[in-house]
Chain A
Amino acid sequence: MESRPLVVVGAGVSGSAAATEAAKAGVHVTLIDENPVPAAIAGLNVPQFFGQRFSGDLRDRALMLERVAAASEAVTEAKAAGVDVQLGTCVWGAFRNSDSSRMLDGPQLGLANDERSWMIKYDRLILATGARDLGIAFSGWNLAGAVGANGAFCLMNRYEASASRRMVVMGAGNLGLSTARMALDRGIEVAAIVDVSNSVRGDVALRTALQREGVKLYMSHTVREAVGRFGDIESVVLVEIDNNSEPVAGTEKVIAADTVCLAIGLVPNVELLSLLGCDLRFESGLGGYVPDRDDWMRTSVETVFVAGDVAGFHEGMVLDSEIARNQGRLAGLAAAESLGAIGKDEALARRADLQAEAVDSASNEVNSNWASWLQSLVTAGGPDIFVCPCEEVTCAELNDLHPPRRLKWKAERQSRRNLRTLAKDSPADSDQVKRLTRVGMGYCQGRLCREQVSMMLAAETGRDVADVPIMSYRPPVRPLPLKVLWPREEAEQVRRDWPKWFSPPRQVLG
């Protein structure tokens, strides 16, 4: 098996900076990014919420590879520094020995492109996997045209394959405002920016410029529904909300649009960190579960470093990519130092020009805003909106812990059970709820519903969302066709030694 001294996962601002910094320090660096993702995977809303709003270009793999490579100066710089850049390659698994798993002769990553998968070893790993779109259910978000900010960014900027023409943006923080800005710059109309809060949270200059260009802002509003007759969004109904997030009847506004962009928040992509057993903690101001890390971006696992959005995202970072870049450079230096490529003194010296304040930026908690959104959307859209669009689990079914609908289960006893009664037995646990309702078990691997489920559990059971344990992550962290995941080369010995369910007792008892 191939072994690399340093693997960086994620070729965004932070990962590219990390790779470049480490390469400059003399380390042989491999930089891996999943983009462009195969069209079939993008269609499943993986890794971002693409909402089917992409053009046929996405099917042209060569073209996409070209565009993704060209879209990023940081990647070009990394290449120039000698970094081995592998695009169109996802890391679907990270394996390392633990108490009950001791077979590996070193930590390994599972990699795959659109055709095959393979394993590699590494000495040091920098995870710069970014963040994903926060999903919050609204009526009609399962129609084509409901997208997320990062998904839209990727389609517009990296792939140049956005099929949106007229967009309503949900969220008036920097994330929402920047998405609107980018859309306008790409010739996409922005019909409205909506937010449940009564004032614009995002940057004033950005907002003023958008308003000057005629973009309407609807504060204290929510989305009642997105409507479309043929599976595609055609219009969006907004409604004003009162101080209790309740919709005010008679204030509905119908807005023609083919795209609704959820730009309410981003959630750090910690799935590989979770597989590796890195310590995670809940930090509302940073988007949810984030890795514990020191000021050299080292995680609790000696060989693993983090940088950028995955280490914690706040909306200040949307306007200031220096934060992610600096974190990347730090991680690159730290990894180089731990590999012995440079000494501690040199690492410190190189670190000197990285602004300290850019590394540790203060942030405000976001969950109260997310919770108001959720509450307003559920109240406006009704209990039958899908929390989990993949498995079609509605809000009401989640609250009632309803057995999967296809079982057509009706029994008096079952109807006495719900999230609240479950919480009487033990603290709410997303994994338990997932098992009972199938929420989070679908194609998108829970990307679109994890946070909502935690928020709904917290709300229903009167707990702080920070106390709801993380819904577990398992490999492969990207959906991979059997024929991609399987090893093409399989040692003859594997087949020979492949047991039946344990070996027959005659044999083991000797």
Chain B
Amino acid sequence: MSVVSADVVIIGAGVSGLTAAYFLARAGRDVVVVDKGIVGGEASGRNGGMISERTDEPAMIPMAVEAIKLWATLDEELGYPTEFTQQGRLQVAVTEKDMDDLFSERDAALRHGLRADMVDPSQIRDMIPGITDRILGGLFFANGGHANSQLTVQAFAWAFQDLGGRLFQNTVVTGIQVDGSRVTSVETSAGAIAADMVVGAAGPQTALMTQLVGVHVPVAPARVEILATAPVPPLFDIALVGNGLYGRQAASGNLLFGGGTHEWADVHLATDPDKPNTPLIRNIARRLAELLPCQADTPVIRSWAGVVEQVPDMMPIIDILECPSNYVVVTASAHGFGIAPATGKAVSDLVLYGETNIDIGAFGLHRFSDIGPDWRAELGWNPIPPRF
């Protein structure tokens, strides 16, 4: 590798790292992004592509709202397609309990000034042709949407390169050199890269990465699954949540739906975690056929899994370490795709100005000051012991 230095070295070419890289390059910084695999090879290219206002975690709402604003003009700005579409997000209820949840979510949304409308079964049938008769009602967020995760990561990567950014794929970060209170360089399988600033955007490897500089950050990896049917004629363009699933019909016509139990996992610093599917895909298929009975004959042609990064309070971490003081941690807590443009913008601001426009007060590391090294065991977030 001929490069020996950069203003900013970003570890991880997932959507968090790439969005940050893009905004930093746009601001004129000399940035290198390093990933052990390909662009978006992990969760960032394997997710459901759902974009929402994150009403489950109110502290995230401002960030999610900002992200949606950015999404609206991304294709044009980047010069590459993301397949973003904003026809809204519909949560449907199939049980009384679901209905109660929708009402309280609606109330929460209204409290935060969002648009959220209750819709009745006949309205829902117009929105999602062929949906089950068991539908009791729904909650519609007009601002929600979805995008193609694989095109999105590549769009950011290319746009970043077009601005002069350097991207090293298949390059593993193996160590981080610290001198006193500052990182001096990032060691990779292709040599060391000197850096004024480091952004650790290593997804499920976030905690392993900060361990290299002696800092404990609570992030637990978990494996989740999703499946794709063969393409079917256009049915709906709304991001759909219900019957235990979330998903969308992609522009290609395929129905992509995920959900169900996750499995806590361990990952390693230098290797890709394995990501098998399990027979759970049958249960996902069942829920999809229940939700859209008109599609019961549509074949499933693929499934896949991804490893997400989970934080104890299920909110992102975006913060600068106290020591080394030029290391920014960013991780999204298992819903990082939709908010990614705002995450990247916030990280970029933090690097450039030490503060952000978007309120990231709730995403600081201080909130975990009480969390001890055994936090995963305490939460029951450790993987079950291997039994082969």
Contact = CB atoms under 8 A, between A and B. Distances in A.
Partners in one complex: yes
Contacts of A432: 38-39
A98 interface: yes
Interface string B308-346: 001011110000000000000000001100000000000
Q: Which of A119, A391, A498 has the most CB of B within 10 A?
A: A498
Given A117-B282, A277-B274, A391-B252, A417 B313 contact: no
A97 B251 contact: no
Contact of B262 (A404, A442, A502): A502
Interface string A99-128: 111111100101000000101000000000
A413 B282 contact: no
Contacts of A95: 276-279
Interface stretch (A54-62, A170-178, A208-216, A476-484): A476-484
Interface string B66-101: 000000000000011101000000000000000000
A343 interface: no
B167 A100 contact: no
Interface residues of A, number: 67
A475 B381 CA distance: 27
A476 B277 CA distance: 10
Interface stretch (B21-29, B191-199, B289-297, B356-364): B289-297
Given A110-B279, A429-B38, A474-B302, A481 B57 contact: no
Contact of A100 (B159, B259, B273): B273
Contacts of A490: 283, 286
A441 B302 CA distance: 9
Nearest to A483: B296
A510 B378 CA distance: 10
A482 B307 contact: no
A108 B304 CA distance: 17
A205 interface: no
Nearest to B313: A505
Nearest to B298: A482
Given A436-B154, A485-B282, A500-B244, A100 B300 contact: no
Contacts of A502: 222, 262, 310, 314, 334
B146 to A, nearest CB: 14
Contacts of B379: 508-510
B279 A501 contact: no
A282 interface: no
B158 interface: yes
Given A502-B310, A505-B313, A413 B79 contact: yes
A385 B203 CA distance: 40
Contact of B275 (A100, A479, A487): A100
A443 interface: yes
Majority DSSP secondary structure for residues of A touching B: loop
Contacts of A187: none
A494 B80 CA distance: 42
Contacts of A44: 299
Contacts of B79: 411-414
A466 interface: no
B383 interface: yes
A104 B151 contact: no
Nearest to B46: A435
A489 to B, nearest CB: 10
A404 B169 contact: no
Interface in A148-168: none
A104 B385 CA distance: 12
A494 B265 contact: no
B37 to A, nearest CB: 9
A405 B296 CA distance: 28
B248 interface: no
A283 to B, nearest CB: 24
Given A435-B150, A474-B304, A509-B312, A103 B384 contact: yes
B307 A474 contact: no
Contact of B278 (A103, A431, A435, A483): A103
Nearest to A427: B170
B45 interface: yes
Contacts of A407: 81, 83, 251
A229 interface: no
A108 B251 CA distance: 34
A99 B276 CA distance: 10
A100 B223 contact: yes
Contact of A498 (B261, B312, B386): B261
B234 to A, nearest CB: 10
Contact of A275 (B167, B252, B276, B386): B276
B259 A406 contact: no
A474 to B, nearest CB: 5
B235 interface: no
B151 A436 contact: yes
Nearest to A408: B81
Identify the 4 closest CB pairs spanning chains A and B, nearest first.
A486-B286, A479-B299, A413-B79, A426-B169
Interface of A: 44, 93, 95-105, 108, 110, 117, 119, 275, 277, 391, 403-404, 406-407, 409, 411-414, 417, 425-427, 429, 431-432, 435-436, 438, 441-443, 445, 474-476, 479-483, 485-487, 490, 494, 497-502, 504-505, 508-510
28 contacts: A93-B279, A93-B281, A95-B279, A100-B263, A100-B275, A102-B263, A103-B384, A411-B79, A435-B154, A438-B252, A442-B230, A443-B299, A474-B304, A475-B281, A475-B303, A476-B300, A476-B301, A479-B300, A480-B300, A482-B289, A486-B282, A486-B289, A490-B286, A497-B261, A498-B259, A501-B334, A502-B262, A505-B314
Given A436-B154, A481-B298, 8 more contacts: A97-B386, A100-B223, A103-B384, A404-B251, A407-B81, A413-B159, A482-B285, A505-B314
